[in-house]
Amino acid sequence: MEFQYRDPEIEKMPREELLALQLQKLKTEIEIALRTPFYKERLSKAGIKSRDDIRTLDDLNRIPFTTKNDLRDGFPYGFLAIPKEEVVRLHASSGTTGVPTTIYFSRSDLKNWAGFMARCIYGAGCNKTDVFQNMITYGLFTGGLGFHQGGEEVGMLVIPAGAGNTGRQFKMMQDYGTTVLHATPSFLLHLETKMKEAGVERESLSIKRAFAGAEPYSEDTRKRIEALLKVDVYNSYGLSEMNGPGVAFECQCKAGLHIWEDGYMAEIVNPDTLEPVKDGETGELILTILCREATPILRYRTRDLTSFYTQPCECGRTHRRLRRITGRSDDMLIINGVNVFPSQIEEVIMGMKEVGNNYLIVVEKDGALDRLTVKTEISAEIFMDDSRPLNALKDKIKETLQASISINPRVELHESGSLPVTEGKAVRVKDTRPKDV
């Protein structure tokens, strides 16, 4: 196979040089972090007061971990390292409570991010002759603008299609001769189902490749999408705390995701002991960003479970590869690509006095997409046979949940005391989606 590299010197840099580059970048990122109120305090407690306190890459171990809660506590500007007038954009992701984790970007941060994205897209075989339909949510979510800018950087014709509306998506593919898609894996599967229903002939489309990410999926799912849509599917991994997509991406070998080690330092630790796992073993991914000046984040606990490949890749890139993310070390659910914590749902429903004491969150597959149903008991004062207040309550729960988690759930109301009660730890979430990762 003929491989193409956007930044060959860096992508194929001998490991020794790459590690030396990492050390330099880590020192700089420490210097940047020390300008933020949060890290100034955190790092000085750990005895790190200047970039010179980091002498080798092993000194990374002296840096305390950062969690999503820390980011929340630091909201809105505790992690900002540059003057506000130098910030040109923010992105945000939902947290366990109403406070979003917010990441700020300077102009050069955006340029760096677009560069990493372009490296991923080009490395998957795309070039300026491609027409790229970005079928993912634009807005605060990083997937839309992240891929958009990366696509433009490669020189592709980018269609900011956004998510949903399969009919419109097919029309655009036909009208503009789309060759590359980006979506969640569940949306790609859904697209195939709809393609049959809409009577769209595969031959009328020019699609060759698809990027799929934002949620976990298995190798079988990849193969299924590839067979059904007749495209090459590449796995894309990222998280808003680390810019968004562009952190790790599959090359044309499709055997693990290269993590760009000149932009990110990756460690894998046991989520209970926080000690490093043995090479090749599964654990929680910890990431330190090395390419951002507005919002430095050091040793971030991603909660994503994965492992490193121990062998180099056939493509010649020296940046290590991650295995597919197999799950999380917390209870975050990913529903059609949107992050939802059960605690967010609980907060909404338990805040309503009409709601009883027991509830159950059900996540299941509805065709290719995910469906969320919230079953809740009503308080003993409300009678099941009076439908008017019940319907009003249902609508209220739906609307409040939609506002809080950005997903439109189904809501079922149950008589007080009728939902199953488990002995011991309550089971609040029933996720029946196949776990085939």
Kindly list the residues in this chain that would bind Zn ion in the complex (CB under 5 A).
251, 253, 313, 315, 317
21-29, 211-219, 271-279, 386-394 -> range binding ligand AMP (CB under 6 A)? 211-219
Tokens matching residue 30: 């420490």
190 binds, among Zn ion, ligand AMP, none (CB under 5 to 8 A by kind): none
Does 150 bind ligand AMP (CB under 6 A)? Our answer is: no
Task: Report d(CA 46, CA 366) in Å as an integer.
Answer: 49
Residues 324-363 that bind ligand AMP (CB under 6 A): 325, 328, 334, 339
The rounded distance, in Å, linking the Cα atoms of 303 and 328 is: 5
- Establish if 267 lies at the interface with ligand AMP (CB under 6 A): no
| Candidates 66-74, 234-242, 385-393, 397-405; binding stretch for ligand AMP (CB under 6 A) | 234-242
Short-list 283, 237, 278, CA closest to 260: 237
Q: Pick the piece of the chain touching ligand AMP (CB under 6 A) from 10-18, 172-180, 236-244, 384-392.
A: 236-244
Rounded Cα gap, residues 25 and 23, in angstroms: 5
151 binds ligand AMP, rule: CB under 6 A: no
Q: Cβ closer to Zn ion: 123 or 238?
A: 123
CA distance 69 to 96: 8
Asked whether position 239 contacts ligand AMP by CB under 6 A, the answer is yes
Spatial separation of the C-alpha atoms in residues 35 and 335, rounded to whole Å: 37
CA-nearest of 394, 392, 388 to 414 is 394
Q: Are 147 and 211 in contact (CB under 8 A)?
A: yes
Q: Choose among 33, 30, 35, 36: nearest CA to 74.
A: 36
Tell me which of ligand AMP, Zn ion, none is bound by residue 315, counting a contact when its beta carbon lies within the kind-specific cut-off of 5 to 8 angstroms: Zn ion
Residue 259 within binding range of ligand AMP, rule CB under 6 A: no
**Residue in 22, 96, 166, 236 binding ligand AMP, rule: CB under 6 A:** 236
Q: Which of 36, 240, 318, 376 binds ligand AMP (CB under 6 A)?
A: 240
Which of ligand AMP, Zn ion, none does residue 235 bind to, with CB < 5 to 8 Å depending on kind? ligand AMP
Nearest distance from C-beta of residue 184 to ligand AMP, angstroms: 9
Q: Name 213's bridge partners.
A: 236
* One of 22, 112, 149, 235 touching ligand AMP (CB under 6 A): 235
Shortest reach from residue 132's CB to Zn ion, in Å: 21
In the complex, the smallest distance separating the C-beta of residue 309 from Zn ion, rounded to whole angstroms, is 10
Asked whether 2 and 118 are in contact (CB, 8 A), the reply is: no
Closer to Zn ion by Cβ: residue 75 or 309:
309
Q: To the nearest 10°, report the CA torsion of 8, 14, 20, 24.
A: 10
Please identify which residue in the block is written with the tokens 């419109």: 168
Amino acid at 238: G
CA atoms of 19 and 275, how far apart (whole Å): 21
User: Rounded to the nearest whole angstrom, what is the least distance from the CB of residue 166 to ligand AMP in the complex?
Assistant: 22
Applying CB under 6 A, the span of 44-52, 224-232, 237-245, 399-407 interacting with ligand AMP comes to 237-245
Residues in contact with ligand AMP, total (CB under 6 A)? 19
Among residues 283, 275, 321, 278, the alpha carbon closest in space to that of 302 is found at 283
Shortest spacing between CB 322 and ligand AMP, in angstroms: 10
On whether the CB atoms of residues 313 and 123 are closer than 8 A, the answer is no
Binding residues for ligand AMP, rule: CB under 6 A, are: 93, 142, 213-216, 235-240, 244, 302, 304, 325, 328, 334, 339
